[in-house]
Amino acid sequence: MAGILAALAANIYNQIYFFATEIDYSNIINWGSLLSLNLIISLLAGLLYWLLTTLFKSRGAIVFNFVYSVGSFACVIIPIAITLPLTTPNPELFPGLTVPMVFFPVIAWMTIDPLFKKN
């Protein structure tokens, strides 16, 4: 569920960024890559959540939130360090598109997670 929400947010943000800057990065970032990346990240996050809640019982969710948040901040370097093809227009604006998208999976997880908690 969080992966779908994150993919939807990333695709909406991609469209907004395109209309604001009129720069097309669709040969690098497109709806298919955004969907698959967000789904894979959320699936891995779900496995990590299961592992940490199994190992740490009641503290597992807290440990998971910490690890997922810190991991997201660490992943900011990926879109900044990426080398774009020479034919890409305005490569300096690419991080403006992709850096916020790094946080969409963790934001979606922390938004959706409380809805599925049992009291």
> How confident is the prediction along the chain (119 residues), in pLDDT tens digits per residue?
899 999 999 999 999 999 999 998 988 999 999 999 999 999 999 999 999 999 998 899 999 999 999 999 999 999 999 888 888 888 999 999 999 999 999 999 999 988 887 76
Tokens of 62: 């807290």
pLDDT of 85 reads: 86
Tokens of 112: 């959706």
Q: What's this model's pTM, rounded to 2 decimal places?
A: 0.86
Residue closest to 17 by CA, chosen among 28, 27, 25: 25
pLDDT of 88 reads: 86
Q: Dihedral (C-alpha) 10, 53, 77, 39: value to the nearest 10 degrees?
A: -30
pLDDT of 43 reads: 95
pLDDT of 119 reads: 61
Contact 101, 33 (CB under 8 A): no
pLDDT of 116 reads: 83
